[in-house]
C-alpha cells in the first residue's frame, strides 16, 4: 500500500492566514495599532519562531496594555481555532484514499495545538494517522519523525511521497531518506542548490494529484 506523508501548516491548512486573522482581532480587541500586524507576523515568522520567544516579544511590546492570558490565548488557540480545509484539498485526500493510498500527517509543533487543527478541520477523518514532533521527540527534517509516521500507520517507508511547503523540513527531509517529494510553492521560487523536490505544485491538491498519478 503506497504512503503519502503530508505536512500540516501552510500545506494542508493555511496556518498563516488563520494566525493573521487572530492577530488582527487581538490588536483590535486591545486597542492596539492595526499597523502592528506586520510586526506581529514578522515576529511569528510563519510559526517558525519558538512560542516562548514570540510570547516574550509580545509581552515586551504590550505588557502594560495586554494581560498575559490574552497573549497565551493568541499563541495557543488563535490559529488552531480558525484554520479551514479547502474543498479542493478534501477532495484530493478522498481520491488518494479511494486509490488505495495511506495518508499520514507529519508535522512539527505542539501536540495539543496541532491535534486541535486536525480535528477542527475534519482531517482526522481523512487521513489514517498523524505524527507530531512534540509527541515523538523528533522534528522534521530528522529522519526519525518520518520513520515514526510510517510505523504509526504500518506502511513501509520506501516508495513514500512527502508533500510540504518547507524546503528544509519537508523536501530536505525527503531527500535525505531517498523519498520522492512535492514542494508546495505558494508562488515562491526554489532557491536551494544542494537538493531539489521531485516535483513542484502550486497547492496541496495539485501536489496530491501529481503524487497519486505517478506510476508506482
- List the CATH number of the domain containing 111: 3.40.50.1000
Whether residue 60 sits in one domain with residue 47: yes
Q: Which H helix or E strand runs over 164?
A: strand 161-164
Beta strands across the sheet bearing 3-6: 129-132, 102-107, 3-6, 161-164, 180-184, 199-201
Range of the domain at 26: 15-77
Q: Which three cell numbers stand for residue 126?
A: 481523512
Whether residue 95 sits in one domain with residue 168: yes
Whether residue 71 sits in one domain with residue 61: yes
Number of domains in the chain: 2
Whether residue 147 sits in one domain with residue 45: no
Whether residue 95 sits in one domain with residue 196: yes
Whether residue 94 sits in one domain with residue 7: yes
Whether residue 168 sits in one domain with residue 92: yes
What is the reported pLDDT for 216? Answer: 73
Domain boundary among 77, 97, 126: 77
Domain boundary among 24, 47, 77: 77
3-state secondary structure of 112: helix
Whether residue 37 sits in one domain with residue 7: no
Whether residue 102 sits in one domain with residue 89: yes
Whether residue 62 sits in one domain with residue 106: no
- Nearest Cα to Cα of residue 104 among 83, 87, 128: 128
pLDDT in tens, the chain (216 residues): 799 999 999 999 999 999 999 999 999 999 999 999 999 999 999 888 989 999 999 999 998 899 999 999 999 999 999 999 999 999 999 999 999 999 999 999 999 999 999 999 999 999 999 999 999 999 999 999 999 999 999 999 999 999 999 999 999 999 999 999 999 998 899 999 999 999 999 999 999 999 999 887
Whether residue 162 sits in one domain with residue 113: yes
What is the reported pLDDT for 64? Answer: 87
Domain boundary among 77, 95, 130: 77
Place of cell 505536512: 7
Whether residue 71 sits in one domain with residue 126: no
Q: Are 73 and 96 in contact (CB under 8 A)?
A: no
- Which residue pairs from 69-78 have beta carbons closer than 8 angstroms and sit at least 24 positions apart in sequence? 70/26, 70/29, 70/30, 74/22, 74/23, 74/26, 75/51, 76/112, 76/113, 77/113, 77/116, 78/18, 78/19, 78/22, 78/23, 78/26
Amino acid at each position: 500500500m503506497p504512503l503519502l506523508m503530508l505536512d500540516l501548516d501552510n500545506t494542508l491548512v493555511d496556518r498563516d492566514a488563520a494566525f493573521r486573522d487572530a492577530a488582527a482581532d487581538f490588536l483590535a480587541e486591545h486597542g492596539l495599532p492595526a499597523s502592528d500586524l506586520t510586526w506581529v507576523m514578522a515576529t511569528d515568522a510563519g510559526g517558525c519562531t519558538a512560542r516562548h520567544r514570540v510570547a516574550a516579544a509580545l509581552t515586551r511590546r504590550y505588557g502594560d496594555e495586554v494581560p498575559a492570558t490574552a497573549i497565551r490565548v493568541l499563541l495557543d488557540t488563535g490559529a488552531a481555532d480558525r484554520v479551514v480545509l479547502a474543498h479542493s484539498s478534501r477532495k484530493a485526500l478522498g481520491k488518494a484514499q479511494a486509490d488505495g493510498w495511506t495518508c499520514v500527517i507529519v508535522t512539527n509543533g505542539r501536540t495539543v495545538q496541532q491535534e486541535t487543527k486536525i480535528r477542527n478541520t475534519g482531517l482526522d477523518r481523512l487521513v489514517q494517522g498523524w505524527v507530531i514532533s512534540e509527541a515523538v521527540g523528533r522534528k522534521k527534517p530528522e529522519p526519525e519523525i518520518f520513520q515514526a509516521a510510517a510505523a504509526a500507520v504500518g506502511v513501509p517507508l520506501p516508495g513514500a511521497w512527502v508533500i510540504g511547503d518547507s524546503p528544509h523540513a519537508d523536501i530536505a527531509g525527503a531527500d535525505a531518506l531517498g523519498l520522492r517529494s512535492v514542494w508546495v510553492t505558494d508562488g515562491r521560487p526554489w532557491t536551494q542548490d544542494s537538493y531539489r523536490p521531485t516535483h513542484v505544485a502550486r497547492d496541496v491538491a495539485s501536489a496530491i494529484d501529481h503524487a497519486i498519478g505517478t506510476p508506482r
